[in-house]
Chain A
Amino acid sequence: MADSDEEYIGGVSEDEDNNPAFRGPRGEATTSRAKRRKHGGAEWEVSRTWETLVEGADGTISSTVEGLLEAGKRKRLLRDTTPLQRGIIRHLVLILDLSQSMIEKDLRPTRYLLTLRYAQEFVREFFEQNPISQLGVLGLRDGLALRVSDMSGNPTEHISAIQALRDQDPKGLPSIQNGLEMARGALFHTPSHGTREVFIIFGSLLSSDPGDIHQTIASLVADNIRVGVVGLAAQVAICREICAKTNGGDYYRYGVALNEQHFRELVMDVTTPPATYSQKQSTNSLLMMGFPSRTVETNPSLCACHSKPSCGGYSCSRCNSKACGLPADCASCGLTLILSTHLARSYHHLFPLMNWVEVPWQRAARSSACFACGISLPPVPPKDQWQTAEGQAKGVSVSSRYECPACKNHFCIDCDLFAHEVVHNCPGCQSKAARFMPTGPDTMDTSV
């Protein structure tokens, strides 16, 4: 997304380019967009998607549509890959709006049910991406903040708690202030080496608060809590202000969902660990952790965490009490118990795979098929046709080839997507010589 203008980020974090609220299908008109953004309007308010459609030589728009599809795929990928400090250990409170405005059916089936579904996916994905983080869930209903599930590192607890909300109906008015205050209380005791975040899914257009919400915002800022909001109806001034103030004047964490798909994207964007601010938000510290081995017993015994009988489990390395699932804090001595695989799961955030570059026709003749999956790439046309496809969207390779800058192999768009979003390995670099290690220093092995 080279077209998103950086100057408004204001030097706080130059890295987070995936500005979700301003993703549009176009790559031009940056100046007018910048003006609009200054006035607080979002770019999609005036989006003329039909203008981007160009008839092909054969009179159909299929080539343009295909190009747009590929551009959409590619756009998700292009992010800054400079290895930067990220808050890997996160403490996040998810606040769900459970007020009467969630009955609306503008998102199918209803805002309420869709939010609950995405919230469950969010929880699952959050722990997939941040295995050593903590999450808590709150709800806003009847002007009160209610605790849905406590801060913990166990996804199944949260998911079942959110699942239980399906039987209840949304009602009353929401109070953002109450929710934020309760979240602040939940995050108060969290250790300073982790991030403190609040993420609100907000469907209403108002907040009925008991006091001055600006004081709450000030105390959030003082406590280094960052707030992100996804609105379901329209932009709300106070949400925007909360996001701006708690993120150092930058409101990229506020997004309003256009449709179901966009809503999901906005929610899932939060699962990526945030970059650490240059202003010191969290202190670095050394954490003591236990790496237990799995034990298998012939007779079931009770685990210390849930008092449920089970045969297998992990015994705490310090006090030998049994935990049934990891990662967890030992129930008796409080030691953080973790597997080395959990740490390894976060490494790809720390050593991201570099973006692959587009290949012009001049260099395309080197390959006829994708290196990884073997699908044939379009053959090189004669030279006079090279210029015809120039008008395509940004980030899309004219030759449908994408090249890894390290190993110089060519790949197709699907492998590009797959390598960057799922595997986080470059098939070319990994299958070459052993001396070259692009994804990480070779000191980073933690296993025997």
Chain B
Amino acid sequence: MNAVDATEHYETSARDPAPSLLTVILDTNPHAWALLENSLPLSKAIANILVFLNAHLACNYANEVAVVASHNQKAAWLYPRVRQNTASDTDGDAAMNGSSAEPGQVNKYRPFRIVEEQVTQNLRELMESTSGADIQGTNSTMMAGALTLALSHINRSSIAWAEAHGADMAAAGGDVPPTGGSTGTDTMGEGLQSRILIVSVSGATDSAHQYIPIMNAIFACQRLHIPIDVCKLSGDAVFLQQASDATKGVYMSLAEPQGLLQYLMMAFLPDQRSRRHLILPTRVDVDFRAACFCHRRVVDIGFVCSICLSIFCEPPENGDCLTCGTHLEMGDYGAKPAVVARKKKKKKRVNGQSNTATPTPTPTPGP
């Protein structure tokens, strides 16, 4: 873009591998963590995740992390957090808030310390703001909101990185890069590499009402080549299986939650560039079957409304769609194939009429 001062940036970006941005979505649903209390309490899990974040930061000095909490009432940023009242410094460098640094921690590598302080502090605030009524009201987690927030931050970081490094990619201008099919290398090679790790504890049935937003976020990730890695501590969510399958991420359901750190370090630390050379622990049997809207049965063969794409397990009464109310024309489902009857007719006609019958064209179904 700016050819005048791009020379020095060009040299650095040519030599160094592009940094990567790791966004961790931490499911902080209190119900699910309470169930895990005996094997892996939240405090221990946080400690493990912080070590993992530090490991990611240590891989490359330009690497970035972001942490979003997907609570049961809201999705909130844990790091970097923007203070609404202090609009001074918002580029992720939030050291202004770290004034309460304990003197014992001065010897720690600064990025490590900032991340640790902010995450623990913000998480404590989040937990303190949660009242008993909030917990009783719902048992779900705001995964869709957390994914959307994470994607917005990734978008912002990619734009900022592209501007800073003079990348002439169309992505910098806000354009969606054309979704490269098999040759994703041109978009993967340069630019900020982003990925999302979901540490999930909630079960599947809780997030059923967020289906469309979650799917929208997954498709956005797919378009932007952002893999979604899923580390499942308890429960099993079909959405997340589909998410990691669609975005070519890693899905792991931990048999032993105590070993969280080891799983994180071994399976989730490599970035996209290293992953090309690794055999990843991916899942093969992803459940893609649909549940009908009328009885919630899992169907193999379903009927789909051509207007609103609702799925039914049997043709609805009177042919009216239950979701959008449109009257639907029913095909001859369940009827015998018409081939046999047609053949007979033809024979009769040929025999009954003159023998100079011109071949009649086969009747084509009308539009």
Contact = CB atoms under 8 A, between A and B. Distances in A.
B12 interface: no
B25 to A, nearest CB: 11
Nearest to B80: A374
Interface in A186-200: 188-190, 192-194
Contacts of A368: 84-87
Given A372-B152, A425-B213, A73 B323 contact: no
Contact of A124 (B179, B238, B242, B310): B179
A189 B364 contact: yes
Closest 9 CB pairs of A and B: A431-B145, A431-B75, A445-B211, A372-B152, A430-B145, A373-B156, A340-B290, A368-B87, A317-B300
B59 interface: no
Scoring A190, A350, A423 by chain B CB atoms within 10 A of each residue's CB, the highest score goes to A423
A334 to B, nearest CB: 11
B338 interface: no
A30 interface: no
B304 A343 contact: yes
Interface in B271-289: 284-289
Interface stretch (A18-26, A42-50, A170-178, A410-418): A410-418
A447 B246 CA distance: 15
B41 interface: no
A372 B153 contact: yes
Given A343-B311, A444-B310, A422 B212 contact: no
Contact of B174 (A292, A348, A417, A442): A417
Nearest to B284: A296
Nearest to B309: A343
27 contacts: A125-B179, A188-B364, A188-B367, A190-B367, A285-B328, A286-B305, A292-B288, A346-B309, A348-B212, A367-B84, A370-B156, A374-B80, A375-B90, A415-B155, A422-B176, A422-B224, A425-B217, A430-B148, A433-B73, A434-B72, A434-B140, A439-B212, A445-B209, A447-B239, A448-B204, A448-B291, A448-B298
B181 A159 contact: yes
Contacts of B248: none
A294 B152 contact: no
A293 B145 CA distance: 29
Contacts of B319: 286
A372 B286 CA distance: 31
Given A343-B290, A447-B211, 16 more contacts: A85-B307, A128-B179, A286-B319, A286-B321, A287-B304, A287-B306, A289-B302, A289-B303, A291-B288, A335-B301, A374-B81, A374-B153, A376-B82, A376-B90, A439-B212, A448-B287
A431 B149 contact: yes
A434 B138 contact: yes
Contacts of A317: 300-301
Given A189-B364, A369-B82, A372-B152, A425 B216 contact: yes
Contacts of B84: 367-369
A128 B304 CA distance: 20
B242 A341 contact: yes
B215 interface: yes
B172 to A, nearest CB: 11
B238 A439 contact: no
Interface range for B? 35 or more
Contact of A444 (B80, B211, B326): B211
A121 interface: yes
A284 interface: yes
Interface residues of A, number: 88
B44 interface: no
B146 interface: yes
A318 interface: yes
A209 B330 CA distance: 41
A341 B90 contact: no
Contacts of A341: 215, 218, 242, 246, 288
B291 A447 contact: yes
A340 B286 CA distance: 12
A156 interface: yes
A426 to B, nearest CB: 7
B144 interface: yes
Contact of A344 (B76, B211, B304, B365): B211
A345 interface: yes
A344 B215 contact: yes
B113 interface: no
A415 B160 CA distance: 13
Nearest to B151: A423
B295 to A, nearest CB: 12
Contacts of B305: 284, 286-287
Contacts of B213: 425, 430, 439
Contacts of B215: 341, 344-345, 347
Given A291-B301, A372-B149, A422-B224, A414 B290 contact: no
Nearest to A341: B242
Interface in B288-340: 288-291, 293, 298-312, 315-316, 319, 321, 323, 326-331, 333
Nearest to B223: A422
B212 A374 contact: no
Contacts of B90: 369, 374-376
B306 A441 contact: no
Contacts of B315: 286
B74 A423 contact: no
A156 B181 contact: yes
A415 B157 CA distance: 11
Interface in B174-228: 174, 176, 178-179, 181, 204, 208-213, 215-220, 223-224
B323 A286 contact: no
Interface in A396-448: 414-415, 417-419, 421-427, 429-434, 437, 439-448
